[in-house]
Structure 1
């Protein structure tokens, strides 16, 4: 059985993290969560790498929380999204991370991708922060990273309406990322990784530390606010019913 998180050296300086939990379509299953945390811990200890490429499989990048996780949150019996800090893995990684989002980025999966230093979308894929579709407020740092990376106007629209957007539509809306045909995404990620690998690692680490210092400092406060909103919004009976009937649609 293949690992749901596969680490591959692209060359001596570039490592790829591939999320491929095909059983759960890259929702944040326990296997995927554990695999991602272990992968980033491994990379943090390796001083030869200069860039990370984070990607998914086939038409899926990452799909957010599982239905069982959301139901447990609505019951008040589940762990919080803060118990397993997936959202800031890329932000806290010492070297630059490229999110090659060749497939769908859904809910917390889309937010997680935006915490990378570089983001590449595919024209054909769906990207959505669909939290409010189920009636609960966004988590995973989405209320922070969307305005930060794509601007407040589009971020408010995506967060409040919870609708689906094709990468092609986001490109016409002026999203500040490369949006390419799906078959071109990984090639572009590799070329970007090679460009980073030409630089001294010490300089890459120092510059990333400087560029993301504000986000690293501000994010914990926003996460606390998201958890407080969850305590209110997940308690609504309507939310549980929406998760039961709408999940996966």
Structure 2
């Protein structure tokens, strides 16, 4: 079964995470397909906008549970190919930037010339939330549950979250969400700047907005997104992405991180 579905119609790419039985949890195959679909769409003639959503009851509940069990057992939790040893030092046209697998799965949407709209319902947790952060606009259901949950597993966000989140909600709120792993509803997410707007049906609204954008002057749309994105400090961003990768490589499998994962797994087993 394809982990990521993609349908093109009227200049709009409808991209859907497709592991509904696992709440669209992110495993290696999902990462690979997100990157593959994202990169392929960058070369799609006539593309005007992208909608990113999830099948079933959630946008994405985050990293696949099996990966955490592997971390607790000190087993490899991702294939060696994910280490990106052969990556060129020029990711998505940014000189000197080399990204990890999870970072690529997020940043591939941000570097698109066309607008990307995330439609969030159900859970958007951990890596699932960071995936939504890669979009330009986030439409959320009022009862969606969103959270930076990495700290529960002895981890830090490593999918561009440490760089994007503070720009949306402010440094203090980003620290509170990250350090406490507190979940917020869609309503609160909009209040604090984590999401753009609450919608009863986020995907339907996202597709409507995408269709509206598709009818605009495509050159103007791409130029507007590019100019707005220049608010990013490129050198600071690159340094932040490198720090995310470096700490993840040092931390995963360390005694303290394994202890955090085992505690979390034990708590889940008792519930």
Q: Shorter chain as normaliser: what TM range?
A: 0.7 to 0.9
User: Residues of 2 paired with 1:5 and 1:60: CA distance?
Assistant: 14
TM, length-normalised to structure 1: 0.86
SS of the residue aligned with 1:202? helix
Match in the other structure for 1:15: 13
SS of the residue aligned with 1:17? strand
Match in the other structure for 2:95: none
User: Residues of 1 paired with 2:101 and 2:33: CA distance?
Assistant: 15
Match in the other structure for 1:118: 137
User: Residues of 2 paired with 1:104 and 1:38: CA distance?
Assistant: 24
Match in the other structure for 1:243: 261
TM-aligned CA distance change 1:172 to 1:203, over 3 Å: closer
Does the alignment pair 1:94 with 2:113? yes
| Residue pair 1:92, 1:216 contacting (<8 A) in 2 also | no
User: Residues of 2 paired with 1:195 and 1:141: CA distance?
Assistant: 29
Gaps of 5+ in 1: none
User: Residues of 1 paired with 2:41 and 2:151: CA distance?
Assistant: 34
SS of the residue aligned with 2:113? coil
Match in the other structure for 1:39: 37
For 1:199-239, what per-residue CA distance to the aligned partner results, in whole angstroms no more than 9, with x for missing partners?
12222222222222453824321111112333444354232
Deviation, structure 1 residue 22: 2.7
User: Residues of 2 paired with 1:12 and 1:110: CA distance?
Assistant: 28
SS of the residue aligned with 2:119? strand
TM-aligned CA distance change 1:173 to 1:204, over 3 Å: closer
Gaps of 5+ in 2: 84-98
Alignment of 1:140-151 (within 5 A): 140-151=159-170
For 1:163-219, what per-residue CA distance to the aligned partner results, in whole angstroms no more than 9, with x for missing partners?
2222133345465510223xx212211221122112122222222222224538243
* Equivalent pairs, count: 245
Does the alignment pair 1:52 with 2:71? no
User: Residues of 1 paired with 2:233 and 2:12: CA distance?
Assistant: 24
Match in the other structure for 2:90: none
TM-aligned CA distance change 1:123 to 1:155, over 3 Å: same
User: Residues of 1 paired with 2:174 and 2:34: CA distance?
Assistant: 26
Deviation, structure 1 residue 43: 1.2
Deviation, structure 1 residue 17: 0.2
SS of the residue aligned with 1:110? helix
Match in the other structure for 1:201: 218
Moved more, 100-109 or 211-220: 211-220
User: Residues of 2 paired with 1:175 and 1:117: CA distance?
Assistant: 11
| Residue pair 2:50, 2:210 contacting (<8 A) in 1 also | yes
Match in the other structure for 1:223: 241
TM, length-normalised to structure 2: 0.80
Moved more, 60-69 or 228-237: 228-237
TM-aligned CA distance change 1:6 to 1:60, over 3 Å: same
TM-aligned CA distance change 1:42 to 1:72, over 3 Å: same
SS of the residue aligned with 1:154? helix
Deviation, structure 1 residue 88: 0.3
